Homo-oligomer: A and B are copies of this chain.
Amino acid sequence: MANYPTPIKNLIDEFAALPGLGPKTAERLVFYLLKRPTTDLNKFASAISQLKNKITVCQKCQNYSEISPCAICQSRQRNPKVICLVALPQDLLAIEKTNEYQGVYHVLGGVIDPLQGLTLEQLKIQELINRIKIDGAVEIILALNSDLPGETTILYLTKLLKSFKNIKLTRLAQGLPTGSDLEYADEITLTNALKGRREI
């Protein structure tokens, strides 16, 4: 035996192909699963094979959803004229969890990041432009990460969307995070916090 039995080897390969998991982690997971009851394995397997069967992409906001348009796009409590632009569904969920936002979303599918193989063509920018026209958007909130790819994308979109008159372009405030220590804040954060200071 120079290798594991085929069923074990197969599953190790599958796990090891996932991003961020190496062959050793994959091995550990498979030996863990071998000790689980068969019903658990079947549940896991069906969760994987069901994943894409029941999931579609909302034709309006491009988020993953079981229905299209999704619950948020359909909701009457939501203002369809305020669109919050996020890179990923995970970011959308983070904002939803605040329970503060009453507008709708648009999931870009990433940011401009040539190093990661993400170029303009893969982002849902045309879909955004179509929506802006159809829904008569009044505000676009660019809720992207405050890192280099995020800032690049914000810069690009700001130029692109400037052509729409009567649309307010906003971005998330930059400043000190809650609970942070001024003494240890980096210079850029502090500069942004100073620039964005507001009256109390």
CB distance from A172 to the nearest CB of B (A): 19
- Residues 40-70 of A, flagged 1 when their CB comes within 8 A of B and 0 if not, give 0111111111111111000000001110001
Whether A198 is near chain B, meaning CB under 8 Å from some CB there, is: no
The answer to whether B90 touches A27, judged by C-beta atoms less than 8 angstroms apart, is: yes
A34-B6 CB under 8 A given contacts A1-B71, A28-B19, A45-B46: no
Whether A144 is near chain B, meaning CB under 8 Å from some CB there, is: no
Whether A166 is near chain B, meaning CB under 8 Å from some CB there, is: no
A30-B44 CB under 8 A given contacts A4-B93, A96-B2: no
Q: Which of B2, B5, B38, B42 contacts A64 (CB 8 A)?
A: B5
The answer to whether B43 touches A14, judged by C-beta atoms less than 8 angstroms apart, is: yes
The answer to whether A90 touches B31, judged by C-beta atoms less than 8 angstroms apart, is: yes
* Cα A52 to Cα B37 with chains together (Å): 9
The answer to whether B20 touches A53, judged by C-beta atoms less than 8 angstroms apart, is: no
Question: What residues on B are CB-neighbors of A28 within 8 Å?
Answer: 19-20
Whether A11 is near chain B, meaning CB under 8 Å from some CB there, is: yes
A29-B34 CB under 8 A given contacts A10-B47, A49-B42: no
A10-B50, A11-B48, A18-B32 given; 19 more Cβ-contact pairs under 8 Å: A1-B70, A1-B72, A1-B92, A4-B89, A5-B55, A5-B64, A7-B51, A7-B66, A8-B51, A8-B64, A11-B51, A13-B47, A19-B28, A19-B32, A20-B28, A31-B88, A41-B48, A42-B49, A44-B48
